[in-house]
Amino acid sequence: MFRYRQRVVTAIILGFLFVCAGCADKSVRVQEFSRENIVMDTLIKITVYAADPQLGEKALNEAFAEFSRINSLADRFSEKSLPDSETSDVYQINQNAQVKPVKVSDDILAMLDRSNYFANLSEGAFDVTIGPIMDLWGFKQTEHHLPSEKEIAEKLALVGYQRIVVDKEQKTVFLPEKGMELDLGGIAKGYATDMAVQRLRELGINSAIINAGGNVYALGSKPDGSPWRVGIQDPRNNNKIIAILRVENTAVVSSGDYERYFIIDGVRYHHIIDPSTGESARQLMSTTVLASSATDADVMSTTLFVLGSERGRELLQKFTNINAVFVDPERNITFSKSLNKQIDILDQANGQVKKEDSEDASSQVE
């Protein structure tokens, strides 16, 4: 069921019909180049616009190559998925817990640096040492498991981002206790998206959209000059969009309790874990974060999901350029006040729509 992460978390509403609208009077006509591939267990779709077909194909190749490259560094189950028994940096780090520090790439150091930055700010709501808990619940494996309190307590003793030993000079990472495991699932797709976007920009692409299983990046504007339109999925109906955001040069990343989950006795157990309990975070159904960095948006969507709307809003207040939309268990939609001009709520899904004032933590009902 989870083999291919076809989480159509955030649907992109692409104006295919308008690709060349408004181009008639311009000297250069752009064409659309689009491709889908499964990388990182996720269906990734990239669409670029270019006047030169060779450039369009090259851009797609190189953007996908970035996703594959980051996957080959960050996949903690890499021994199963990589050819020639090559293993990822993260796999090596985990295998060598309590044994020895492992030399890693600059990308892993960058992801850990950013993860730890948000881990500190969120008092550990985001914690990349969550691996043992993910394994315990079996969210990656096909067989799920409802663990006992004792099992959770044992695995929680192995969780703690402060214990990761990073030597930036030597470029090594060390986990001090056997059984500790890094899991970059909350950041790697966002980071890979940023790397792909950087490559597209270097190639001179100024209009593109990437959807990496709910990690969307809208590069530039649509070819007709209008903003990209990114939909937020109804957390309980993946065929329905509850809101549309108009964005340019922005990452729009969603986290939700509908992406990887199982239900036992009517209780939904899902893949976003509150590190303070070792259980699925329960305060929200989904979070969607807008930021100029897809890495930050990815980390923040997971972090805010764990923190819930109240503590999440407090964290958001520390940033002027990161905005969010929350859907709570009563299906109320709350969004940062600064999104006011770029969001359309299509369906309130029986809940209320609230606009949050980012200066003042109180929210007002519209």
Binding interface with Mg ion (CB under 5 A): 186, 298, 301-302
Q: Is there binding between residue 183 and ligand AMP (CB under 6 A)?
A: yes
Q: Judged by CB under 6 A, does residue 164 bind ligand AMP? A: no
Tell me the site size for ligand AMP, rule CB under 6 A: 18
Question: What is the C-alpha to C-alpha distance for residues 175 and 193, in angstroms, rounded to an integer?
Answer: 27
What residue spans of the chain are helical by DSSP H? 53-74, 78-81, 89-95, 106-121, 131-137, 149-156, 188-202, 294-316
CB closer to Mg ion, 48 vs 297: 297
Residue 9 or 175 with smaller CB distance to Mg ion: 9
Shortest CB 188 distance to ligand AMP, Å: 9
Token pair 């981002």: residue: 161
Nearest to ligand AMP of 215, 363 (CB atom): 215
- List, in order, residues 6 or more apart from 204 with CB less than 8 Å away: 55
Query: Which one of 78, 193, 233, 255 is in contact with ligand AMP (CB under 6 A)?
Result: 255
Contact window for ligand AMP (CB under 6 A) among 52-60, 92-100, 296-304, 337-345: 296-304
Residues 266-285: x where in contact with ligand AMP by CB under 6 A, - otherwise, as a string? -----xxx-x----------
Q: Which does 259 bind (CB under 5 to 8 A by kind): ligand AMP, Mg ion, none?
A: ligand AMP
Tokens of 186: 């909350």
Q: In whole angstroms, what is the distance from residue 301 CA to residue 312 CA?
A: 10
Closest residue to ligand AMP in the complex (CB)? 185
DSSP state letters, 73-110: HH-TTHHHHSGGG---HHHHHHHTTTT--EE--HHHHH
Kindly tell me which of 259 and 328 has the beta carbon lying closer to ligand AMP: 259
126 contributes a contact to ligand AMP by CB under 6 A: yes
Query: Nearest CA to 346 among 228, 230, 242, 229?
Result: 242
List 66, 75, 89, 127, residue binding ligand AMP (CB under 6 A):
127
122 binds, among ligand AMP, Mg ion, none (CB under 5 to 8 A by kind): none
Rounded Cα–Cα distance for residues 324 and 36 (Å):
27
Contact 275, 125 (CB under 8 A): yes
Which residues inside 212-241 make contact with ligand AMP, applying CB under 6 A? none
Whole-number Å distance between alpha carbons of 195 and 69: 10
Does residue 158 touch ligand AMP according to CB under 6 A?
no
- Of the pair 170, 277, the CB lying nearest ligand AMP is at 277
Structure tokens at 222: 């649509």
Cα 276 off chain centre by = 21
Mapped onto helix, strand or coil, the DSSP state of residue 145 is coil
Q: Taking CB under 6 A as the criterion, which residues in 301-360 touch ligand AMP?
A: 301-302, 306
Contact footprint for ligand AMP (CB under 6 A): 126-128, 130, 134, 183, 185-186, 255, 259, 271-273, 275, 298, 301-302, 306
